[in-house]
């Protein structure tokens, strides 16, 4: 147990002294499934792309057909991330604002999900085994979130109950760039 806390403390010192990449490398030893590999190497690599549209910098545009999320950076550009989207019957569209952001969020499945999947736990504390992953970005007063995933193979797939999944590395990057109050456009 003492060694576990020493490694966590070392990862925390690395994060403070040399940035997030060093902290991720330290935590990879403890939680090998937490990060998908070298920066931007998830199933669908994040990249900067040309982006047309009349959206303010900091806006998030989710294209469920493309299974991509765009963070508008301005000057006709956006960061493009791969996402997992809602499966048939669970896709939705609309405009919301980011109302909260949480690191290592806990998860309580909604009653509708428990009715479909009674085998699910009633509550899970945050951590590497939690299906919400490393970060969650809450959308309006909905039950939906943009969140990390401990199942990176689902990125690019339509498998969720309406939330948008990202590899943990990408959701951490987005979390650090987006502000509470940012507008989120979800398009089918």
Please say whether the beta carbons of 171 and 100 come within 8 A: no
Q: Which one from 23, 44, 78, 163 is the annotated catalytic residue?
A: 163
Does residue 123 carry a catalytic annotation? no
3-state class (DSSP) for residue 11: helix
Q: What six digits make up the tokens of 11?
A: 């990862």
Please say whether the beta carbons of 88 and 188 come within 8 A: no
Q: What six digits make up the tokens of 81?
A: 């991330």
Q: What is the CA radius of gyration of the chain?
A: 17
Rounded Cα distance between 158 and 11, Å, is 34
Does residue 109 carry a catalytic annotation? no
Residue for token pair 């060694």:
3
Q: What six digits make up the tokens of 165?
A: 């999944």
Cross-strand partners of 70:
61, 80
Q: Which one from 46, 80, 147, 165 is the annotated catalytic residue?
A: 147
Q: DSSP letter at 152? A: G
Residues serving a catalytic function are 147, 163
């Amino acid at each position: 147990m003492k060694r576990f806390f020493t490694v966590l403390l070392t990862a925390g010192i690395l994060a403070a002294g040399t940035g997030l990449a060093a902290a991720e490398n330290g935590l990879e030893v403890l939680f090998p499934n937490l990060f998908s590999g070298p920066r931007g190497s998830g199933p669908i690599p994040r990249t900067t792309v040309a982006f047309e549209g009349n959206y303010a910098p900091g806006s998030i545009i989710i294209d469920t057909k493309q299974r991509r999320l765009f963070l508008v950076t301005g000057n006709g550009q956006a960061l493009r991330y791969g996402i997992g989207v809602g499966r048939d019957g669970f896709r939705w569209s609309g405009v919301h604002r980011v109302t909260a952001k949480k690191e290592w969020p806990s998860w309580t499945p909604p009653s509708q999900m428990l009715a479909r999947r009674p085998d699910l736990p009633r509550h899970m504390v945050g951590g590497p085994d939690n299906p919400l992953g490393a970060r969650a970005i809450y959308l309006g007063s909905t039950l939906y979130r943009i969140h990390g995933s401990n199942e990176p193979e689902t990125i690019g797939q339509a498998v969720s109950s309406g939330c948008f999944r990202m590899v943990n590395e990408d959701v951490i990057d987005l979390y650090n760039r987006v502000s509470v109050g940012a507008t989120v456009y979800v398009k089918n």
